[in-house]
Structure 1
Amino acid sequence: MRKTIPLRVATAMIAALLTATACSSRRGQDAQDTAADGACKGQQTTGITGKTVKLGGIYPLSGPASAYGTISKGVAAYFKYVNDKGGIDGRKVEFVVRDDGYQPPKAVEEARRLVEREKVFAVFQTLGTPSTAAVRDYLNQQKVPQPFVATGASVWGADDKHPWTIGWQPNYVAEARVYAKYLKEAKPKARVAVLYQNDDFGKDLLGGFEKALAGSGVKVVAAESYEVTDPSVSAQMASLARSRADVLLDVTTPKFGSQALAADARNPKWNPLHIVNSVASSAAVLQPVGFKNVQGVVSATYFKDPADPQWADDPEVKTYKKALHAYAPDADPADQFNAYGWAVASSLHQALAAMKCPTREGLRDAVRDLKDEKVGMLLPGVTLSTGPGDAFPIETMQLMRFKGERWQLFGKPVDTRKEFGPLTK
């Protein structure tokens, strides 16, 4: 005969069992928390709390490269959108933007302001090779993360003396490899003229292009450089036209990209295939020249063009357009620079969420340990990957050709790691 336990006794027994289980679970969690706290102990927590994370960004809101300034609007819109969704791991993002006018000394001044006055957690997105190079020594000495800088110079992924600095977009050598591969297949005997900015940006892409052409029938027959302080590149374009090259490789920032495209359009005696590097491929560069004058121009990209009808129903593009209208109503959703800002901010979101420690050291390590991370605004087949000996997050691009009033993708994505091998120091 089964003995019945009184209700009050049963209740007491259940309560005791639940308490014991809860205490055991809590002790296990406490042990895990203690271990995590121990691993993170002594690391920098300036600019981050359990509820907030403060980021700084340095952009040319004025000056010769001011067309890039709108990138900050795409970044800010993303963070505001995320904040309204609860933040990143419960932390609301405060994004502080400073203007350096594309002047390296000013960039250093603004970096100091962000670190010493604003007390930011990281300086996310310094824009341009000259400005990024100018501030990286200071930020690395201060042990402040400088993640996903807005420049494709190969040094950001090949310099182990500055572990706090890392790029994001395909480096200029990888981009150059894509153009070289295309010409070797489409125009195997091409004669190429090159216009390039006389700094690490221009020299990096030109050097990578020449190296990728080695042993082929494609030759660089003329090259002209310009300074970022030059008023125009008309003289350089006139000189390059005299080479009668079949191809013009245009390695410029937006202002000079527009000038080069316009000069090409005005010269009826020279009609080369015009390849414009990705940093000067925005509609903001092409539109002033007139779309009818840039038909057939070739470039490369790695993120979705919000003006391309094929992405009209893409969930990420739809979210981006809606958020940009809400949080940056003066910004054009069709401008690729705004989409770039959204994509890179989304990438940082993933790195922040992946931190093993909510510290500056945690972010430094997270951006160097990305495993085929998917980002909604990147093209299919393009992911973020880094690891030991590889600090280049994106090395896949796809060619595009301007037709009508927009860019159209063609060919297949080119994974330059597989095609040419990893880029090394």
Structure 2
Amino acid sequence: MTRSAAIVSAGVVLISGCSMRVPADTVVSQGAAPGAQTTGTTGAPGTTTAATDTTGAIAPAPGAAAPGASDTAAGAAGAGAGAGTATTAGQGGGSGGAGSGKPAASAGQGATAGGTGGDIAISGPNSQGVTDTEVKVGVLAPISGAAGFLGQNEVDGINGYFGMLNAKGGVKGRTFRTVVVDTAFDPANEATGARRLVEQEKVFALMGVLGDSPAPYVTSKGIPNVVVGITPPAYSSKYPTTYPVTLNTVESVVSMANYFMKVKKAPIKTVGILYDTQNMAIKPWLDFMVKAWEVHGVKVVSTDAFNLSDANCDQIVTKMRNLKIDFWQAGQSLGWPICLAAAARQGYKPPFGIGGPYSADAKFVGGAGQGSNDVYAQTVGVQIAINTGQPYPQAKNNRAPEVDNYVSSMKTYGPNSSDMSSLENIWTQTSWAMAKLVAEAVSKQSQAITWKGVNQYIQSLTNWESGLVQPVSFKPECKTGGKTWIFQWKRQPDGSLVQSDWKPYGGVANYPDSLANQILPGAGKCLTGKMADAGLQ
């Protein structure tokens, strides 16, 4: 049983001409003008296919409830910003229930829950996007542009899990179907795309990358929004229905500094920090990244903004050389491979190297050529090529219990991302785990399937284990990213990159609450969420 999908455009970004490889049953929007005829999906076994009329409007799928007043658009201004009429595989509208425009209740309110992670019983109609046969999920992915390969991995990771689940009959007799919006890694497109998926495509839940720009909107509507995460806002208690599943940039700097100073015991005295202000806007949290090193007695001698659009990093590399830094904490910019390449051209490498969190993707870091060798990388996933399924200290054998299902499902349902570099990268693994979280939350709804119920379930989870990536917590007041582990990229004679064995680097990074409290007094185990809140004040 296969999963049906559709891909639409957001803002001025169009799918046509991009390098995204899509499944045979996928429909691609070519940015048709309103009123133009669009194309419906090819019916996939076990899925409901929409009929498309000659005006470009999409009729509800058989069995779908008509959209109710409480599920309709929150205003035309945010709903129709796409370049053309979206082509989707079914409307799947619902009525009433949690799609009321009100924020969802936190865990424990208005429902019966069997303790943490227990079943949720909410009576009444299902929320929009849920029919008797399917659950419709919106996906925000950077499919076009310089980071398009990341969107490929994200979509394929989601396809991998949902495809495997659908082949077994889905959840509660319902299969999962996705509609994908190309964001081109632009925050404005992500915000516009979120509105479009909710208000036009009538999806039940959202999945995306950063989650920052859609966060105010999804919070106001009470929509479950499962994201990769990475940047701090997704971890804030201000956005209780946004659920980050991977590492947090700022917390990863804390882990990197702790690794070098407490595990490796490197005599580092000076550090430079690179940060993004566009695609990954993290400047409000720069002081915490600086403090992550300063609490160890290390002096941060330079902090430099660098973005993918800057294109040339030679001047910053020369600056680092002249400052004679010991380590370059550079991996907090989407453009940092440009800096790695510039350092290689200049024959420069600090005594203790270069590293950072935006690093767990061989294709991404490999763009630096010779500059990618020996880069210190961080991930929350597991190794595949060697030490398959490790490190996963939650299991007695240190092997992720879902790793075999992950690899098998990717080969069957996400074959475009089943090569070794894609299987090992953080995007594919995290996206697979995101899909598992959504499906698990739906499975825990004992009566109606609603936004409110799904939010209550997810918000009750502490140290949730996907069986693939490191555990995360979703309580609004204490969201945590997965703890990272460190490795180095080793460049091979053919130019490819392979991960070093994780074991010499100490495994999953853990640091004491006392260290967290030095960075932000009183934060303790909730450091990630507390830093997020502080930066948004």
Normalising by structure 2, report the TM-score.
0.64
Greater displacement, 310-319 / 211-220: 310-319
Aligned to 1:5: none
1:212 and 2:212 equivalent? no
Match of 1:396 among 467, 478, 483: 483
CA distance in structure 2 between the aligned counterparts of 1:153 and 1:324, rounded to whole angstroms: 27
Aligned to 1:339: 429
CA distance in structure 1 between the aligned counterparts of 2:241 and 2:125, rounded to whole angstroms: 14
Residue identity opposite 2:452 in structure 1: E
Aligned to 2:368: 289
| Structure with higher helix content | 1
Q: CA RMSD in A?
A: 3.0
C-alpha deviation, 1:365, in angstroms: 1.6
Gaps of 5+ in 1: 1-33
1:153-191 Cα shifts (integer Å, max 9, x gaps): 23322233x322232213222212101212323224421
- For the residue of structure 2 that corresponds to 1:251, the secondary structure is coil
1:180 and 2:246 equivalent? no
CA distance in structure 2 between the aligned counterparts of 1:314 and 1:153, rounded to whole angstroms: 26
CA distance in structure 1 between the aligned counterparts of 2:472 and 2:349, rounded to whole angstroms: 40
C-alpha deviation, 1:93, in angstroms: 0.5
Give the 5 Å matches for 1:160-239: 160=238, 162-185=239-262, 186-199=265-278, 201-203=281-283, 206-239=286-319
Residue identity opposite 2:202 in structure 1: K
C-alpha deviation, 1:43, in angstroms: 7.0
CA distance in structure 2 between the aligned counterparts of 1:309 and 1:39, rounded to whole angstroms: 41
CA distance in structure 1 between the aligned counterparts of 2:295 and 2:511, rounded to whole angstroms: 18
Contact 1:332 1:338 in 2 (8 A): no
CA distance in structure 2 between the aligned counterparts of 1:411 and 1:205, rounded to whole angstroms: 27
Mark the CA change 1:268 to 1:141 in structure 2 (over 3 Å): closer, same or farther: same
1:412 and 2:507 equivalent? yes
CA distance in structure 1 between the aligned counterparts of 2:476 and 2:218, rounded to whole angstroms: 22
Contact 2:275 2:332 in 1 (8 A): yes
1:387 and 2:461 equivalent? no
Percent of aligned positions that are identical: 25
Mark the CA change 1:273 to 1:92 in structure 2 (over 3 Å): closer, same or farther: same
Mark the CA change 1:417 to 1:341 in structure 2 (over 3 Å): closer, same or farther: farther
- For the residue of structure 2 that corresponds to 1:138, the secondary structure is helix
Mark the CA change 1:320 to 1:193 in structure 2 (over 3 Å): closer, same or farther: same
Alignment coverage as a number of residue pairs: 380
CA distance in structure 2 between the aligned counterparts of 1:310 and 1:265, rounded to whole angstroms: 32
Give the 5 Å matches for 1:61-72: 61-70=143-152, 71-72=154-155
Residue identity opposite 1:328 in structure 2: G
Mark the CA change 1:225 to 1:391 in structure 2 (over 3 Å): closer, same or farther: same
Greater displacement, 382-391 / 304-313: 304-313
C-alpha deviation, 1:94, in angstroms: 0.6
1:158 and 2:216 equivalent? no
Contact 2:407 2:418 in 1 (8 A): no
CA distance in structure 2 between the aligned counterparts of 1:59 and 1:119, rounded to whole angstroms: 18
C-alpha deviation, 1:248, in angstroms: 0.7
CA distance in structure 1 between the aligned counterparts of 2:362 and 2:151, rounded to whole angstroms: 14
- For the residue of structure 1 that corresponds to 2:416, the secondary structure is coil
Residue identity opposite 1:152 in structure 2: I
- For the residue of structure 2 that corresponds to 1:62, the secondary structure is coil
1:136 and 2:215 equivalent? yes
- For the residue of structure 1 that corresponds to 2:240, the secondary structure is coil
Residue identity opposite 2:501 in structure 1: Q
Greater displacement, 409-418 / 63-72: 409-418
1:263 and 2:342 equivalent? yes
Greater displacement, 220-229 / 231-240: 231-240
Specify the structure having the higher radius of gyration (Cα).
Answer: 1
Normalising by structure 1, report the TM-score.
0.80
Aligned to 1:369: 460
Gaps of 5+ in 2: 1-110, 114-119, 391-398, 492-497, 517-523
- For the residue of structure 2 that corresponds to 1:242, the secondary structure is helix
1:92 and 2:164 equivalent? no
Residue identity opposite 1:406 in structure 2: Q
1:91-110 Cα shifts (integer Å, max 9, x gaps): 21011111011223322332
- For the residue of structure 2 that corresponds to 1:61, the secondary structure is coil
Aligned to 1:329: 415
